[in-house]
A and B are shown apart, each in its own frame.
Chain A
Amino acid sequence: MTADKVIDWPPVEGVLAHSIKIVDIPPRPAIMDRIRAAMNEDIPNFNYVGQLISADVSLAAGLIKTANSPYFGFRSRARTINEALLMLGLDATCRAVAALCFRQSFPDSARYERFWDASARIAALSGWLAGRLEKSKIRPDNAYTFGLFRDCGIIILLCRFPDYAASLARANQNAELSFTSVEQLDFPTDHSVIGALLAQNWWLSDEMCQAIRYHHDRHAIDMFDSGLAMGSRYLIALSQTAEYLLQQVSGASQTREWEKLGSSCLRLLNLDADDLTELCVEAGALLKTVDY
C-alpha cells in the first residue's frame, strides 16, 4: 500500500483563482437511462427502444454492426434496428449501447488511437472466445463489453497525469509484482480501481464492475475465499486469454500478464496448451477477416 504517496494537488483557493477547467470522468450517457427506464416497464416496448436508438444514426449503425458481428455468431442477419434488438435482447442492447457510447464519451479520444484499437480487438476476441468455448458460462456480448471497459481507468489516468505513461510501461514490464502494485508505487490508486468506479457510475452489472476491479489480482481469481463471484472470474479469464491470443497473433507482446495470470485463466476455462495453440490459429484467421 502506498498511502504515503500523496498527489501534489494545487491549493484550493489557487485552483479557483485560475479557474482550471474541471475534467470529470465521462458522464453516463442519457440514452442509457432512457433505455433502462423502457426496459423496466412491465411490458418493455421494443419499438420505443428502437426509436430511441434510431434517433442517433451512428448508434443505430453501430448496433446493427454489433448484432451482425461474426464474433457473436448469430445465424441470421439484422437489417433494421428492430431486428438487431430482437436478436440481442434488451439487456445486451443496453450493454452494446454502453460500449458504443463509451469511446465517444472521452474527450480527445483520437490521441489514444492505439489503446482503443487494442481494447476493441481484445473485446471482440473475448466475445468470440465466450461463444467458442464449450459450456462457457458467459454470454459473448457480456465478455465483449467487459473487454472494452476493462482498462478504461488507464485512459483516465493518462489524461490526468503525464507521468502515468511511464508507470504504465513499468507495470507492463514487471514480471514480479502485480500490474496494479507497480502502478501503486507511483500513484495512490490504480487503473482497476478507477475503472471499477467509472463502471459503477455507468450502472454496469456488479459482476462486471468487480471483474474490472480485480482483473490483475491473481489472489482474487484463484482463491475461492476471495469472495469474487465466479462470473467475474470467468470474465477476467476470457479477456486475459483473448489478450494473450491477440499478442500471439500480432507478435507484439508488450505485457507480462500472461506469465502472472495465464495458468489461472487456463484452469478456469479448462484449457490446456494444445487448446491454446488451436485457439491461436483460429483467432489469427478471424482477426484477418474481420473489421471491427
Chain B
Amino acid sequence: MTDCPKPPWKAIDRSGCAPIEIRTAAVDPGSGFLKRCDGLNAATRLLAEASRLSTPLAALWLDVDRFRQVNDSFGHAGGDRLIACIAGRIRQAVSGLGECLHMGSDEFVILIPDAGGSSAEQAARKLLLEIEQPMAIDDIMIRPSVSIGIAISLADDDPIGLLERADRAMIDAKRQGGNRFVISGYEALPGRIGVALAREELAIESALYSALENGELRLNYQPIVRPDGRVEAVEALMRCAAQGVQIPPDKFIPVAEKTGLIVRLGEWSLLQGTRCAARLREQGYTTKVAINVSRVQLLSPGFLPALHGALICANVPPELIELELTESLVMDLSPTVQANLRSARQAGVGLAIDDFGTGYSSLASLKDIPATKLKFDRAFISVLPADRQALAIVKAMTQLGRELGMIVVAEGVETHEQLIACEVAGTDATQGFFHARPMSEDDLILWMKGRSFK
C-alpha cells in the first residue's frame, strides 16, 4: 500500500497545525483496520450504498492529540505503542458500528452507515471517553486524547468531499484545544492552537492529577512578622509530590496554569488556607492567611463562588483571608479579573500584591486594584543594608504604599541586618528565613505557641 498516490483530500492548508509524520507500520499490525487506499475504496463503496438506500453516512476523522510530543519524548516505539493502544480503544468503542480505517501515522477514519448527526455525535462521545483513559508509556502515565471531525454525507456527495469536510472539522477541533469533536458546518472561528507539552510537562500534568487524587498536595506556611514580634499573616505555599518525590513549584505551577488544572489546585488551596485560618483562630490567633491565586483562576467564572464556599466551609471571617497576586497578574488586568478582585475586596478579603518593584511593574496599575498589602520583591532586600540605592528605593516604596493605605511587607529577609534596615525604612512587616522557613500547619502552630505574642 505504500506506493499508493497521495490522496487529493490531503491537499488542505494545515498551516498552524502540527506537521503530520507519515510512517508505515505505525499501527499495531493486529489492529485489523484498513489502510489508506482501501479507505478511499471503502468510503466510495459505503457512500454508494448509502445513496442507494437514501440513508446518511457519517465520516469521523480522528487525529491523535500531541502525538508529536509523545514521539519526541518517548521515541517512535512510544508513539507506536500509543497508536496501537488508541487503535484498540477505537475498535472497542465502535465495534460493529462501521468501518475503521487507519490513514497512516496518527490519523484514523471511521465510516458509520445509516448514521445522522446525533448517532455520529454519540459515537464521537464514546470514542473520546474510551480514548481518554490513562495509559502508561515507560512508566509515565499519560492521558491520550484525539480530535474528531465529523461530516455527514449529503445527496450526491463524493467520498473525497465527505472526507475532506471531516478532516477540516478535525483541524478545527484541534485548534480549539483537542480532546473534542467538531461537526462539519459548525466549525468555530480559528482559535488558539492546542497546547504543546514536552515530555516533562506530560509527566507533571499526570503527577498533578495523581496528587489531587492521592493526597500528595500540601500547603506550607511562612510567617510575616511585625516589628513588635506579632505575626501579621502567614503566606500559604503549595507543595506537590508524586509518589513521595517533591516537584518544585516553579515546575508544576506553569504546567498547572497551561492545562487549566490550576483552577482545581487553587480551589483546593483556598479551602485548605481558610481551614488553617480557622484553626489558628481556634487557638486564639487572629493571624491572616495569604493564599496565592493565579490569573487563570481569577478569569474563571467559578472563582467567587469557590472563594465564598471555602470561607463558609471553614467558617472564617473574610478579613482573615488575603489573596496574594503575582505581579504579572497585576500588570495584566482584564475586566473579569478586576471585577473578581473588587468583589473579593468588597466581601472583606484582603489583596496583597506580591513581588512588587521588579519585572513589568507599573505604578499606574496600583490605582486599579483595591490592594491592602504591598510586598517588595526580595531583590531589593537581599542587597541590604550595603546597597544605599536599594535602601532609598525601599524607603520610597514604603512611603508610597503607606500613602495608598497599604500594609508594606519586605520579603526575603535573611539576616538581622536586613531586618533592621527594613525597619528603619519603615516597612510594616517582614518575611523570610530570618524569622522562619515555610512549615506545615502543625509546625506553624507549635512555632506560634513558642512565641510570646498572640
**Which of B130, B243, B308 has most chain A Cβ within 10 Å?**
B308
**Residue A227 CB within 8 A of the other chain:** yes
- B243 partner residues in chain A, CB cutoff 8 A: 40
- B348 partner residues in chain A, CB cutoff 8 A: 6, 9
Binds B, one of A49-57, A114-122, A192-200, A273-281: A192-200
Q: Are B339 and A22 in contact (CB under 8 A)?
A: no
Measured CB to CB, the closest approach of chain A to B351, in angstroms, equals 14
**Residue A143 CB within 8 A of the other chain:** no
- A203 partner residues in chain B, CB cutoff 8 A: 212-215
**Residue B220 CB within 8 A of the other chain:** no
Instruction: Give the size category of B's interface with A.
Output: 35 or more
Q: Are A230 and B129 in contact (CB under 8 A)?
A: yes
Q: Are A156 and B312 in contact (CB under 8 A)?
A: yes
Instruction: Give the size category of A's interface with B.
Output: 35 or more
Q: Are B278 and A22 in contact (CB under 8 A)?
A: yes
Q: Are B312 and A231 in contact (CB under 8 A)?
A: no
Binds A, one of B315-323, B390-398, B420-428: B315-323
Bound-state CA distance A275–B310 (Å) is: 41
Q: Which of chain A's residues 196-234 have a Cβ closer than 8 Å to chain B?
A: 196-198, 200-201, 203-206, 209-210, 213, 224-225, 227, 229-231, 234
**Residue A61 CB within 8 A of the other chain:** no
**Residue A25 CB within 8 A of the other chain:** yes
Q: Are B260 and A3 in contact (CB under 8 A)?
A: no
Q: Are B308 and A188 in contact (CB under 8 A)?
A: yes
Bound-state CA distance A11–B343 (Å) is: 19
Bound-state CA distance A9–B122 (Å) is: 48
Q: Are B264 and A189 in contact (CB under 8 A)?
A: no
Q: Are A4 and B317 in contact (CB under 8 A)?
A: no
- A156 partner residues in chain B, CB cutoff 8 A: 312-313
Q: Are A1 and B286 in contact (CB under 8 A)?
A: no
Q: Is the interface of B mostly helix, strand, loop or mixed?
A: helix
With both beta carbons as reference points, the residue of chain B lying nearest to A268 in the complex is identified as: B125
- A197 partner residues in chain B, CB cutoff 8 A: 267-268, 270-271, 306, 309-310, 313
- A225 partner residues in chain B, CB cutoff 8 A: 176-177, 180
- A206 partner residues in chain B, CB cutoff 8 A: 209, 212-213, 264
Measured CB to CB, the closest approach of chain B to A142, in angstroms, equals 13
With both beta carbons as reference points, the residue of chain B lying nearest to A3 in the complex is identified as: B343
- A33 partner residues in chain B, CB cutoff 8 A: 215
Q: Are B264 and A209 in contact (CB under 8 A)?
A: yes
Contact pick for A230, options B128, B209, B282, CB 8 Å? B128
Bound-state CA distance A268–B118 (Å) is: 10
Contact pick for A194, options B272, B281, B301, B309, CB 8 Å? B309
Q: Which of chain B's residues 304-362 have a Cβ closer than 8 Å to chain A?
A: 304-306, 308-315, 317-320, 339-340, 343, 346-348
The answer to whether residues A224 and B181 also contact, given A188-B308, A193-B305, A230-B129 and a CB cut-off of 8 A, is yes
Contact pick for B347, options A10, A188, A198, A224, CB 8 Å? A188
The 7 closest A-B pairs by CB, nearest first: A3-B343, A230-B129, A188-B308, A189-B309, A189-B308, A193-B309, A189-B305
- A sample of 8 cross-chain residue pairs with beta-carbon separation below 8 angstroms, ordered by A number, consists of A6-B347, A12-B319, A13-B286, A24-B278, A206-B264, A210-B264, A267-B122, A270-B122
Residues of A within 8 A of B (CB): 1, 3-4, 6-7, 9-13, 15-16, 22-25, 33, 36, 40, 135, 137, 153, 156-157, 160, 184, 187-190, 193-194, 196-198, 200-201, 203-206, 209-210, 213, 224-225, 227, 229-231, 234, 267-268, 270
**Besides A10-B317, A184-B305, 18 other CB < 8 A contacts?**
A11-B317, A12-B286, A22-B282, A24-B314, A33-B215, A157-B312, A189-B304, A193-B305, A194-B309, A197-B271, A200-B264, A200-B268, A203-B215, A206-B212, A210-B264, A224-B125, A225-B180, A230-B125
